[in-house]
């Protein structure tokens, strides 16, 4: 999580990330405008990245195991398009995680 905060994800499946929500810092950052705003939620070790096309990923550590959990939110006009969006997003996140560990 520290690595993701220090070097945030900048694309989701090839689409530019425009919004980062950091619930540990209670902060939302609009990358297009540079505007920071306060998140009115309890503090927790969660990051949410949202792309220009509305695709999102929430990332948090497991509370019981030494691993990171990813929650994917796809976009599309029907279930097939949403599934394609999720598949592309997961593939891109796996590649990003592999590159971060090198």
| Whole-number pLDDT of residue 95 | 83
Distance CA 78, CA 93 (A): 23
Domain residue limits, the chain? 2-101
* pLDDT higher than 60, residue 98: no
**What mean pLDDT is predicted for residues 69-86?**
92
CB 20 within 8 A of CB 32: no
Mean pLDDT, all residues of the chain: 91
- Candidate from 53-57, 80-84, 88-92, 94-98 with smallest mean pLDDT: 94-98
């Amino acid at each position: 999580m520290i690595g993701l905060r220090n070097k945030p994800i900048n694309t989701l499946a090839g689409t530019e990330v425009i919004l980062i929500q950091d619930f540990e810092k209670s902060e939302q950052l609009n990358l297009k405008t540079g505007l920071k705003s306060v998140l009115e939620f309890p503090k927790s070790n969660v990051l949410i990245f949202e792309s220009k096309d509305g695709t999102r990923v929430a990332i948090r550590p497991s509370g019981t195991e030494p691993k990171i959990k990813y929650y994917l939110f796809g976009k599309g006009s029907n279930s097939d398009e949403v599934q394609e969006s999720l598949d592309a997003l997961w593939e891109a996140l796996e590649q990003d995680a592999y590159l971060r560990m090198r």
